[in-house]
Amino acid sequence: MIEDLLAYGWWVGAIGIVLGFVALVKGADWLVDGASAIAKQFGISDLVIGLTVVAFGTSMPEFVVNMVSVAEGSTDLAITNILGSNIINTFVILGLTALVYPIVSQKRSRDFDIPLSIIAGVLVLIFVTVQLPFGETEKGIGRIGGVVLLAMFCYFLYNTFRHAKDHPEEEPTPDPSLKGGEISVRRALCLVLGGLVGLVVGGEMIVKSAVDIAMRCGVSEAIIGLTIVALGTSLPELATSVIAAAKHNSDIALGNVFGSNIFNVFFVLAMSATVHPLPAYEGIELDAVMVALGSVIVWMAVKTNHERKIQRWAGALLLLVYAGYLTYRLISL
């Protein structure tokens, strides 16, 4: 009888996570469409919309899950959601995408985005292994660490807008899905409101269901965050990148992945830490190393060939390294 109840509770939690992800992804989609339409009404360019509204929108699932996790006191879930998402973005999404079709790298990604993503992993590793002399009571990402990460985010935004201003010829083709001029202000506001509701409801369902599964199965919140939650919040990027690769447009994958990784650490994780200090958990050092290692492997892969591509062998290497890492984390429970 007890086993039946536990099994029932596990499936209820799993269904809750799935429904939460549906609400989360749809909410982010509505929010981006509505906010983009409002921006269009005020004559804001497609480039600025892409660098702000769309970029923030694609990070909203991670952001909402983290804010709810912090509010619920599930700090392990808040950190692992970000580290796990970045690990999956780099090793799994880029790995699978490169296997489908080699990924072309842009100069900005090679010279700025990838190195900055390496720095993100190194900073997290420093924060969780060294107790900083700024009144912090334990190792982890405290409020001071959060402020440092936010400062890096401001630098990222400044550099991004400066680059866009200096290279207007690189302005991307407007996304046909963002029909800003075809949506009325009233409908746009409804989309924004509906998107926010979907994000909040979805985030609440995911966190509560993930914590419930962890408690019933005797698995730590950290493992749930690194696997189920992280994979779920990365599904939009995974689908977009693989489909783009199948259409031989894999060059967009690299910018999307590392842009998302930078937003995740320097904005989402930083905001979470400033709201509530995030103490280190067992195994966090390895997770932080993996965040930096993935970027190092990609950077070396594009720097060591004249075509500046992530070739299929590099994609296979990324997937193999991730498989080894995940196996080690699971057997070390």
Q: What is the pLDDT of residues 263-273, one digit of tens each?
A: 899 999 999 99
Sorted by where each starts, the structural domains of the chain and their CATH numbers stand as 2-331 (1.20.1420.30)
Give the start-end residues of each E strand in the chain. 103-104, 140-141, 278-279, 309-310
Tokens of 44: 């804001």
Tokens of 285: 């050092």
- Of the given ranges (151-160, 175-184, 190-199), which has the lowest mean pLDDT? 175-184
pLDDT of residue 137: 55
Q: What is the pLDDT of residues 276-292, one digit of tens each?
A: 888 888 888 999 999 99
Q: Where does the pLDDT of residue 124 fall: very low under 50, low under 70, confident under 90, or very high at 90 and above?
A: very high
Tokens of 62: 């991670």
Q: Count the Cβ atoms, other than its own, within 10 Å of residue 333.
A: 11
**Beta-carbon contacts of residue 317 (< 8 Å; ≥ 6 apart):** 95, 297, 301
**What is the arithmetic mean of pLDDT over 21-49?**
72
Distances (CA, A) of 55 to 163, 233, 275: 16, 14, 22
Rounded Cα–Cα distance for residues 149 and 48 (Å): 23
pLDDT of residue 133: 54
Asked whether 66 and 269 are in contact (CB, 8 A), the reply is yes
pLDDT of residue 69: 81
List b or e across 175-212, with b for residues whose CB sees 16 or more CB atoms inside 10 angstroms: eeebebeebeeeebeebbeebbebbbbbbbbbbbbbbb
Portion of the chain with pLDDT greater than 70, in percent = 79
pTM for this one? 0.78
Asked whether 61 and 75 are in contact (CB, 8 A), the reply is no
Length of the chain: 333
Rounded Cα–Cα distance for residues 51 and 281 (Å): 33
**Is residue 258 predicted with pLDDT exceeding 60?**
yes
